[in-house]
Amino acid sequence: MKLIASSAHEAAAGQNSLQIANDADPRDVSLDGVTRIDLHFPKFTDGRAFSQAFLLSRRLGFKGEIRATGDVLVDQLAQMERSGFTTAVLRADQDLAVAERVLRNYPGYQAGKYQGDAVQAEPHFAHPVEA
């Protein structure tokens, strides 16, 4: 997952970028030509963007960048990655170094070892063993 400091973030603009309101259904939006989608967390307790990211990546097969914006906290990053987010813009008071460390501490989730997620549908143990 790519991490971006709040000060370095540029809002989605242009024909290849799209912002989807967190109360909108991604299935109702045309994704033709879109390479980046910004999903907004208005507050950290509002998790609707998790569902949107999952719908986009798993059900709709969107392969572009799915960016988390808004009230993005370090402790949400592992779940964001498992839900299909590829990029996260950290809230201004969140430390980028701490965020990188948090992601490194969850390699089991990143590899889908224990349970499936939006990135890898089947858990690692369900894959055939190579000889």
Written out in words, the top-level CATH class of the domain with range 35-126 is alpha beta
In contact, 33 and 15? CB cutoff 8 Å: yes
In contact, 109 and 96? CB cutoff 8 Å: no
Q: Per-residue confidence of the chain (131 residues) as pLDDT tens digits?
A: 999 998 887 776 666 999 999 999 999 999 999 999 999 999 989 999 999 999 999 999 999 999 999 999 999 998 999 899 999 999 999 999 999 998 888 665 544 455 555 565 566 556 565 65
Whole-prediction pTM value?
0.79
Neighbouring residues of 129: CB distance < 8 A, sequence distance ≥ 6 = none
CA separation for the pair 70, 98 (Å, rounded): 18
